[in-house]
Structures are given as C-alpha cells and as structure tokens.
Amino acid sequence: MSSRALIATAAVALLVGFALIDCAAAEKKADSAARKEGATQRIRPPRQPARGAGSSDYPHARVEKILREKGSDGYWLFLPAAPVPAEAPVILFLHGTRALNPYDYGGWIEHLVRRGNVVIYPIFESAGLWQAKKEGNEIQMERALKATKAAIEDVGKSSTTRLRLDRFAITGHSFGGGLTGQAAARAADYGLPEPRAAMPVQPGWKGDETMPLGALAKIPASTLFLVIEGDTDQFAESRQGLDMVKAATAVPWERKAFVRMLSDERDGVKLISDHAAPLSPRDDYGEPLTDKKIRRRAMAAALTGMRDGEEDALDFLGYWKLFDELCDAGFNGRAMESVLGTGDEAPLGEWSDGTKVKPMKVVRKP
C-alpha cells in the first residue's frame, strides 16, 4: 500500500474513532437527561433499604484503601474503619476484563466493607492491552489466587483486625464471574480458605464461549453457590451461568441455584439488567482516570454497547442483597432456601406506586 493510501486509511480510522467518542458522549448526555426527567416524575424505583441485607445500615463510617504494587501481581485491600473491627470476614472480589481499577465497582465494595468485611481486589491483568491479550486465562487466574494468598498474609501482619478465614466468600463479574467458580474450586490448591459462599455474576471466559467446567466439580459441598445473569446482557450468548451450576456436582441442589434478573420500566424510569448492571462507579475508588483513559473507555463503550452502570434497585435489592444473604447463610451453615425462599421467583421491591418490580427468576434443579 502506498504512503498516501496509508495516510488516508489512518485519517479515516481517526475520524471514526472521534465519531464513536462523540456518539458515546451524546448517548451518555441523553441518558443523564432522561434519568433527571424520570426523577421528577411521580413513580420512582425502590430505594436502598434502611435495614437488613443490601441496606445502608453500616456499622463502619469509613473504608481504608491500600494499593500493594501497581502491576499484574498487585492487589487492592479495602478494610473497614471508624471503628476498626477486632475481626472481619474476607471477601475476594474478582473484576471483569480491563477493570483493573476498582473505580468500576466502588459502590459495591464500599457497601461490603462498611458492613464489616475485608475486601481483596487482585489486579491480575497486565496494564498494557496487547500484553494482556497475550496472557492466557489460566495465567491470570493463577495471579489472582496468588495475590489473594499474599493479601491475606499482608493483613495478618499489618492490621489489628483478625481475619475470619472460616468466613471466606468470593464474588466476581463477567470474566471475574468465570474466575469466581474456578477460584472456589481451586482455593485449597493455593492454600486459601474453603469458600463458604461463591456468587459469579454474568460469568464468562475471556476470549472463549466455553470455560473449563470440569474443574467446578471440586467446589466443596459446603459452599453456597449462586450464579446470576441478566436478561439484556449484551454478551448473553457467551454467558455460562446455568452450566456452571450444573457442573458444581459436589454441591447438593439445596445449596446452589441460578437466578435471572429481569429489566423493568415504569413511567419512563428504567432498571436495566444488562452487562453493566453490576457496575457501581465511584470516583473515590481506585486511581483517578486520566483523559486518555476516559477517551479509551468512551470508545470501548461505543463499540460494545456497554454503559458506565449506576447504583439502583438491581444493586441494593439484587446483587448486594443476595450476596449479603448468601454470605450470612454460608457463614452460619444455612441452605440456599434462607436466601431465595422456596419459590421460583425472588422479589426486587416495589415502585413508588406500589407496583412490584419484575421479580428475579430462580432455577434450582433444572
């Protein structure tokens, strides 16, 4: 190809990139306006409850945030403070692809820690995009588990809070959801505690429509295993939630389940159960986004249809509440019935006019 043709091609690519960014910005502005308009209307979605699982009833006023190394072997520690607890359960939080910055899950992490949990957030992916693409999923999984081991030892040496290793739970989103099942199965191999609860959210296996399901047979029978997917996930064809539940053959059916969360809308206000639904961005989590990173995120959003996500009823009464209840049940030896009841639906609260939000669909033994 001639130099003139190369220059023309590059110019076209640059213009397309800017157009995608402008499109993403316009869509975000329109979405923000729609939300403001919806907020002034009579009907409102459920708010965060004041008491119980998923609520804002926090015994700790502050979160201590510690970054140990910035590379792919690093990890974030989030510890409850004000007051510092004498002891705390341990939550392993596994991020989705390229979510090296806990900014994307800040709201959920804040909720978990202020409830009294220590949260470990391994980075496990290389910062460079091309380098990360060369790394296999197994390599990144191994990094995540080794970093978790290091983080547990770190807290044991540096904090006055005693970790309750008999109260260890795992959750993760997207690729992190796929890793959640693998981590629950392989924890013992890496000297980690036996997980009492594991909740993959919209799980997948990066770059592949299949994952190593055979390993999930090693998830301990004592683990409560709950998998959640959304009804409008942009990557629904590559999600493998129900297959993961079936593959966890050592876990009896009364201790595992699959949940599908449904989108809903009232009076122009939307609850969107897509791939971005579990995201809860907070500017005070992770490292500040540079202009370059913001542009990259905008382009990725335009290409994939992903949103930034928000904190709404799907979080408070869905992901957060279910995981709170799953941990409480797992730590105290109760079965899945104490989390989801006995029916084939799980409630998501009511709109302000008393209409029930579309309930989550529950699959126990298919």
Encode 37-95 in three state secondary structure.
HHHCCCCCCCCCCCCCCCCCCCCCCEEEEEEECCCCCCEEEEEEECCCCCEEEEEEEEC
* Single-letter residue type at 34: A
13 and 114 both lie in a single domain = no
The pTM assigned to this predicted structure is 0.86
**Contact (Cβ atoms closer than 8 angstroms) between residue 310 and residue 274:** no
11 and 76 both lie in a single domain = no
pLDDT at 247 over 80: yes
Provide mean pLDDT across the span 244-265. Answer: 97
Return the pLDDT at 220.
Answer: 98
User: 26 falls in which pLDDT band (50, 70, 90)?
Assistant: very low
Tokens coding 88: 């705390």
- CATH, residue 60: 3.40.50.1820
183 and 74 both lie in a single domain = yes
The pLDDT tens digits of the residues spanning 29-82 come to 444 444 444 445 579 999 999 999 999 999 999 999 999 988 889 999 999 999
Tokens coding 287: 């490292």
29 and 57 both lie in a single domain = no
178 and 320 both lie in a single domain = yes
Provide mean pLDDT across the span 234-253. Answer: 93
**Contact (Cβ atoms closer than 8 angstroms) between residue 190 and residue 233:** no
Tokens coding 330: 């797992």
The pLDDT tens digits of the residues spanning 331-358 come to 999 999 999 999 999 999 999 999 999 9
Return the pLDDT at 304.
Answer: 61
CA dihedral 281, 284, 285, 290 (to 10 degrees): 80
27 and 68 both lie in a single domain = no
Nearest to 339 by CA among 331, 215, 132, 262: 331
pLDDT at 267 over 70: yes
pLDDT at 235 over 60: yes
* Single-letter residue type at 321: K
223 and 345 both lie in a single domain = yes
Neighbouring-strand partners of residue 269 = 266
Return the pLDDT at 122.
Answer: 97
**pLDDT over 70 for what percent of the chain?**
84
* Single-letter residue type at 353: D
Return the pLDDT at 33.
Answer: 45
181 and 207 both lie in a single domain = yes
Return the pLDDT at 297.
Answer: 62
252 and 147 both lie in a single domain = yes
Number of domains observed in the structure of the chain: 2
Provide mean pLDDT across the span 228-248. Answer: 93
**Contact (Cβ atoms closer than 8 angstroms) between residue 264 and residue 327:** no
342 and 358 both lie in a single domain = yes
Return the pLDDT at 164.
Answer: 98
Q: Can you give the residue range of the structural domain that contains 219?
A: 48-294+303-363
95 and 214 both lie in a single domain = yes
| Higher-pLDDT residue of 234, 31 | 234
Return the pLDDT at 47.
Answer: 96
4 and 81 both lie in a single domain = no
Cα–Cα distance measured from residue 93 to residue 106, given in angstroms and rounded to the nearest whole number: 11
Question: Over the chain, what is the mean pLDDT?
Answer: 87
